[in-house]
Structure 1
Amino acid sequence: MNRLLRSGLTLLAAALLAAAVQAQSAAPTKKRPAAKAAAPATGPLYATRPEVLRAADDIAARRDLDREWVRQAIGQARLLPQVQRLMTPAPTGTPKNWRVYRSRFVEPIRIRAGLRFWQEHREALARAERDYGVPAEIIVGIVGVESIYGQQMGGFSVIDAVTTLAFDFPRAHPRAAERSAFFLGELEQLLSLSDRTGVDPHSWRGSYAGAMGMPQFMPSSWVRYAVDFDGDGRVDLFNSVDDVIGSVANYFKAFGWKSGMPATYPVGFAAQADMDTLLAPDILPSFSVESFTAKGAVLQGEALAHAGPLALVELQNGAEAPQYVAGTENFYVITRYNWSSYYAMAVLELGRAVREALDR
């Protein structure tokens, strides 16, 4: 789109600001599914904030985007108080509970939906496994946990959400400055994606954190990892299941997924296990099998022949005893999608449950 035409469209967008903007996909011939959730309450426009407009000018200069178009796009974003509330961290000391967390994701509705998804898209899943080395059950687990296979993709305005989190991230968060910088980068990527695809930046809908489509990709992940797996010349993570499957597989391959490697092994403990040392690296695989077992971790069977590093993953259960697994490099790759061992285990167990249903 040339600059004169884009400037003209900017003026038209301003004249139509009072009208509701309908969600649309990256191609005008396909309709993006309408959000089921009611639109959240909004605050003031960001056009009244000088520091926001200065940031818009910086984005425009660095990305070679039309300055007025970027100012208009960001300036017409609104603060979302609900997004701020959802990003506020839980009170210190709130216990984690793996059994409760698991029950939200590994349950009959998702398993049945996952079974239909696998049956209907068996060919694309098999092709992604061949091309990228990522098992179908991992892809099925991701899409099921993220959006129940497209049933829940979020109803928030993505540009409102990421602008809110870039400039008004909750100060109570211990990493507020770091997170604000992250979301400023996501805002920049969203605008670049919108410019390149010709999509109105205010039309994208997603989660309160700005994640979009069936796989809930952040704008930067869409730009870097999304692929045209159905070969129609465009990437559509809202409507093309093939694109979704290929993009998730490509994401995992990019982060180092190792074909044929298990994500976890069962683990037990000797009486004098050095739990503090074993847990110190958290989910980062840091121990060889020899050093892992020397610290008191007990492995059996194929785990004893594992060639790469391991981590001791702790899954707390509130007041009850925690559960543990030995996590491999592939387990760590799953946490690159969402930095949480609980999330990674839910993906693994949902995918496994769907595969078992498929095999029955």
Structure 2
Amino acid sequence: MRLADEIAAKRGLDAEWVRGTIAQAQNLPVVSRLMQPAPGGTPKNWRVYRSRFIDPIRIGAGVRFWQENRATLERAAQDYGVPPEIVVGIIGVETIYGQQLGDFRVLDALATLSFDFPASHPRAEERIRYFRGELEQFLARHHANRTDPRRPPGSYAGAMGMPQFMPSSLARWGVDYDGDKKIDLTRSPEDVIGSVANYFKGYGWTPGMPTHYPVRFDAARLDMEALMAPDILPTFSVASFQAKGAVLEGAALEHKGPLALIELQNGSDPPQYVAGTENFYVITRYNWSSYYAMSVIELGQEVKQAMERRP
């Protein structure tokens, strides 16, 4: 109730409404458990990860979504510079184009993580502040719109709608792209497409830039430790990248921006590598994972190729 009063005072909301809403939130122990870090020592496997998101069902749903929303996807590409296949890839990976919106009430998930975030988590204090800010955004939006905050479903982290936006992302990047004076990321594909494209533009998407290039290694000069040190943050010029033993060819040699060496582990088999650009990094602003970003890229490519094969 102290947090309810703080939110009400900060946002100029009706204090009784905020108190009453938070009082109706349910504690969900499963949400707290799902926030625990994965056990150490579990090998990552790109092929297994990829198979979860790139399959005939998701590709078929992506083709239908693209066909039904072709004009909006093309408009968003013009307005924001983000290719249709990237937008389609995100929505497909997140919710299979609205088929899986989440099994939790957003109010319950955000309240649980605001008050019962696992104390054993190495970044518990930081994450509690984050989720309390998301709860504040969520309540402020529903108060302003006079809508029921007990209704929206979402993920265990409180992400909502077809693109699984957190409340702060909805407030910052949400777009009324269908012109009906409201932003609906559950039932309006136009708003979803515009909002995802706006999100990427906001995080620095560069029109026309590839997301990644093939890379191989020159064993005689390879300094893998230096190449991997920045993780997925693009840091190296083409020249410095190659000086450390990463070999690029073709269009990659003309790339003007920084690059990162992206490693995709395959369990006990050798990893795969690509040279990630700033646009690859932008995709990871949606989810801090090179595996996630590559799944988005490859699902979008698969759907695009399926579209091109259709008569």
**Which bin holds the TM-score, normalised by the shorter protein?**
over 0.9
Say whether residues 1:203 and 2:151 are aligned partners: yes
Alignment of 1:64 with 2:12, yes or no, is yes
Q: Which residue of 1 aligns with 2:72?
A: 124
CA drift of 1:171 comes to 2.2
Aligned equivalent of 1:295, options 236, 244, 250: 244
**1:139 and 2:87 matched:** yes
Distance (Å, rounded) in 2 between the aligned partners of 1:252 and 1:109: 26
Q: Any idea what the Cα deviations from partners look like across 1:61-117, whole Å, max 9, x if unmatched?
A: 111111111111112211101111211121111111111000000111000000111
Question: Deviation per CA, 1:261-299, whole angstroms, max 9, x where unpaired?
Answer: 000001111103100010000010011111111111100
Aligned partners of 1:155, 1:94: CA distance in 2, in Å?
Answer: 26
SS at match of 2:181: coil
Q: CA RMSD in A?
A: 0.8
- 1:320 is aligned to 269
Moved more, 82-91 or 113-122: 82-91
1:319 CA drift (Å): 1.1
Aligned length: 308
**Residues 149-176 of structure 1 deviation map (CA, whole Å, 9 limit, x = unaligned):** 0000012110110111111111232211
Deviation at 1:55, TM superposition (A): 1.3
Unaligned runs of 5+ in 1: 1-52
- Equivalent residue, structure 1, for 2:204: 256
The 3-state SS of whatever aligns with 2:102 is coil
Distance 1:79 1:286 in 2: 43
In the alignment, the residues of structure 1 paired with residue 258 and residue 90 of structure 2 have an alpha-carbon distance, to the nearest angstrom, of: 24
Give unpaired runs (5+ residues) of structure 2: none
- Matched residue SS, 1:307: coil
Letter in 2 for 1:286: T
Per-residue CA deviations over 1:29-70 (Å, capped at 9, x if unaligned) read: xxxxxxxxxxxxxxxxxxxxxxxx111111111111111111
- Tell me, yes or no, if structure 1 residue 176 matches structure 2 residue 133: no
* Amino acid corresponding to residue 207 of structure 2 in structure 1: S
Please tell me whether residue 93 in structure 1 is matched to residue 34 in structure 2.
no
Please show how residues 185-196 of structure 1 align to structure 2 within 5 Å: 185-196=133-144
Instruction: Give the match for residue 9 of structure 1.
Output: none
SS in 2 for 1:343: helix
Does the residue aligned with 1:247 lie in a helix, a strand or coil? helix
Contact 1:89–1:172 (CA under 8 A) maintained in structure 2: no
Query: 2 CA distance for matches of 1:170 and 1:355?
Result: 41
Matched with 1:307 is 256
For 1:262, give the aligned amino acid: P
2:282 paired with 1:347: no
Report the AA paired with residue 201 of structure 1: P
**Range with bigger deviation, 297-306 or 76-85:** 76-85
Q: Runs of at least 4 residues of structure 1 off by over 3 A?
A: none
Checking the alignment, whether the CA contact within 8 Å between 1:77 and 1:163 is kept in structure 2 is: yes
Q: 1:159-203: CA deviations, max 9, x gaps?
A: 110111111111232211111111111000001111111111111
Q: Secondary structure at the match of 1:312?
A: strand
In structure 2, distance between residues paired with 1:179 and 1:315: 27
Structure 2 match to 1:34: none
Match of 1:166 among 114, 120, 138: 114
State which drifts further: 328-337 or 192-201. Answer: 192-201
Q: Distance in 2 between matches of 1:99 and 1:123?
A: 33
Separation in 2 of the partners of 1:236 and 1:158?
Answer: 15
Give the C-alpha shift of residue 355 in structure 1: 0.3
Scaled by the length of structure 1, the TM-score of the pair is 0.84
1:233 to 162, 167, 181: 181
Contact 1:141 1:349 in 2 (8 A): yes
Q: 1:228, 1:234 within 8 Å by CA — same for their partners in 2? A: yes
CA–CA separation in structure 1 for the residues paired with 2:84 and 2:25? 38
- d(CA) in 1 for partners of 2:121 and 2:45? 21
Name which one, 1 or 2, has greater alpha-carbon Rg.
1
> What secondary structure does 1:185 align onto?
helix
Q: Tell me how far apart the structure 2 counterparts of residues 266 and 292 of structure 1 sit (CA, whole Å).
A: 13
User: How far did 1:145 drift?
Assistant: 0.2
Partner SS state of residue 322, structure 1: strand
